Chains A and B, each alone.
Chain A
Amino acid sequence: DTAVSQTPKYLVTQMGNDKSIKCEQNLGHDTMYWYKQDSKKFLKIMFSYNNKELIINETVPNRFSPKSPDKAHLNLHINSLELGDSAVYFCASSKDQETQYFGPGTRLLVL
């Protein structure tokens, strides 16, 4: 019974490609997030949606575009991938913006 799931778990791709990462939560939460974790484990929030509405949009290149088709899903599309996009991307969800439940992460490597 996975609470927050992400696909794919690993993603290796060439510079310039476009890719998507999918996230689904079965916890009934209203709020979902995308985070980027670099090689030094620094965690940076990218986006947050509440009831399909964008509420947090940090300074992120516009090559990154989140999409929330419904409350249970928040996908991340990345255009024109760059070497610096290599990182682990975590999806998370929360009920009341308090405790966050994280997915297992998607390890993106751009060659």
Chain B
Amino acid sequence: GDSVTQMEGPVTLSEEAFLTINCTYTATGYPSLFWYVQYPGEGLQLLLKATKADDKGSNKGFEATYRKETTSFHLEKGSVQVSDSAVYFCALRSGGYQKVTFGTGTKLQVIP
């Protein structure tokens, strides 16, 4: 079945540091890939997505590139802010009436 593997957190960075959160997946066919973010006390919200190989999703300074050859969708940001502190979830959907499979989440803490 489909699965998503994320790096374990928590990840603690200083403000303006470079962020990478690794995500790899296994899936049948050509899944759509997502990053969701969950701020404290809130529900998840879509951060970015990519629907085919080599697509780059980007939003709020975050980027992730759909790499089919390495089955990866790593999240990056060049300069993190305190307000980026949240839990980040990598996810995929294989198509049709398929459920979205979420990774276990990576907690990011940015300190001033």
Contact = CB atoms under 8 A, between A and B. Distances in A.
B9 to A, nearest CB: 9
B104 A41 contact: yes
A43 B89 contact: yes
A62 interface: no
A56 B2 CA distance: 15
B90 to A, nearest CB: 11
Contacts of A104: 42-43
Contacts, number: 52
6 contacts: A41-B38, A45-B99, A90-B44, A98-B32, A100-B46, A104-B42
B105 A42 contact: yes
A103 interface: yes
Interface string A89-111: 01010000111111111000000
Interface of B: 32, 34, 36, 38, 42-46, 49, 51, 87, 89, 93, 96-100, 102, 104-105, 107
Contacts of B45: 101-102
A44 to B, nearest CB: 8
Interface in A56-111: 56, 58, 90, 92, 97-105
A99 B34 contact: yes
Interface of A: 4, 40-43, 45, 48, 50, 55-56, 58, 90, 92, 97-105
Contact of B46 (A40, A41, A42, A99): A99
Contact of B49 (A90, A97, A99): A99
A25 to B, nearest CB: 12
Nearest to B95: A97
